[in-house]
């Protein structure tokens, strides 16, 4: 089994976590971006080092890591005006089976975020938002190669049909404002269900980390 050794986010990377966290309290062990390097086949990228550079998460086989197994939702938020381009980010806090907390972040309007929020709403509507699930992520085949996602409990893909139809209608109409509002409303519902409301900003651990990808994901 291959072990990937990294350091916990520090300096500039710590600032990224605090900025992306959007006021949600969590002890963050690893911050992961989705499809951060467009030219890469990888889909999960860890922000590491003083510069916060993204590093692809790979399996021992050399293939990209594409799923996170047995993770539990511990927080979710939207952060506005992030970075140079004043982006709006979806931040999803997940706890692994070994107890690490991951901050997974992507643009709110991305296909990946729409898929994840829809899957989490299906968990919420099913009455068990805190159950372990598998987060699958893959790249599409179109020229832009957007990242897609699926949340699965066992072999069941969690889908909220009503939300799917609302987002599809908003996309068809080119109504970006409506789409953003649908996503924000869903995040607010999910956040309240998980945390009971907004809490303090994120705190980043600084201990040395040894991440065994197959064990944690």
- d(CA 100, CA 121) in angstroms, rounded, equals 23
- For residue 212, being part of any structural domain is answered with no
Q: Considering the domain boundaries, does residue 30 fall inside one?
A: yes
What parts of the chain have a pLDDT lower than 70? 1-26, 49-52, 197-217
Tell me if 216 sits within 8 A of 96, measured CB to CB: yes
The phi, psi pair for 79, rounded to 5°, reads -115, 130
Distance CA(157)–CA(159), nearest Å, equals: 6
Q: What are 14-26's pLDDT values in tens digits?
A: 555 555 554 444 5
Write the DSSP assignment of 139-194 as a string of letters: E-SSTT--EEEEEEETTEEP--HHHHHHHHHHHHHT-HHHHHHHHHHHHHHHHHHH
Specify whether the CB–CB gap between 71 and 133 falls below 8 A.
yes
For residue 95, give its domain range.
Answer: 4-196
- Asked if residue 208 is part of any domain, the answer here is no
Q: Are 148 and 35 in contact (CB under 8 A)?
A: no
Within-domain flag for 145: yes
Strand, coil or helix: 136: strand
The count of domains in the chain is 1
CA angle 63, 68, 74 (to 5 degrees): 150
Q: Choose among 100, 84, 96, 81: nearest CA to 9.
A: 100
Q: What is the rounded distance in angstroms from the CA atom of residue 197 to the CA atom of residue 193?
A: 8
Predicted pLDDT of residue 9: 45
**Residues 6 or more apart in contact with residue 3 via CB below 8 angstroms:** 210, 211, 212
Domain-located, residue 10: yes
**Beta partners for 104?**
32, 92
Residue 52 lies in a domain: yes
- Examine residue 213 and state whether it is found in any structural domain, yes or no: no
Residue 205 lies in a domain: no
The answer to whether 31 touches 203, Cβ cutoff 8 Å, is no
> Residues near 203 by Cβ (< 8 Å), separated by ≥ 6?
25, 26, 27, 28
């Amino acid at each position: 089994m291959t072990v990937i050794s990294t350091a916990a986010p520090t300096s500039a990377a710590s600032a990224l976590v605090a900025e992306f966290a959007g006021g949600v309290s969590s002890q963050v062990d690893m911050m992961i971006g989705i499809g951060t390097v467009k030219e890469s086949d990888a889909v999960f990228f860890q922000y590491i080092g003083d510069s916060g550079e993204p590093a692809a998460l790979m399996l021992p086989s050399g293939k990209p890591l594409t799923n996170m197994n047995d993770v539990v939702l511990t927080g979710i938020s939207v952060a506005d005006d992030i970075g140079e381009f004043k982006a709006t980010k979806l931040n999803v806090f997940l706890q692994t089976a070994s107890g690490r907390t991951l901050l997974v972040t992507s643009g709110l309007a991305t296909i990946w975020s729409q898929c994840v929020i829809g899957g989490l709403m299906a968990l919420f509507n099913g009455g068990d938002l805190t159950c372990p699930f598998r987060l699958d992520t893959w790249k599409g085949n179109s020229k832009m190669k957007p990242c897609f996602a699926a949340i699965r409990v066992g072999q069941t893909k969690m889908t909220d049909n009503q939300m799917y139809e609302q987002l599809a209608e908003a996309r068809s109409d080119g109504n970006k404002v409506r789409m953003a509002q649908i996503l924000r409303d869903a995040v607010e519902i999910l956040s309240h269900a998980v945390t009971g409301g907004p809490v303090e900003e994120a705190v980043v651990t600084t201990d040395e980390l040894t991440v065994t990808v197959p064990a944690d994901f």
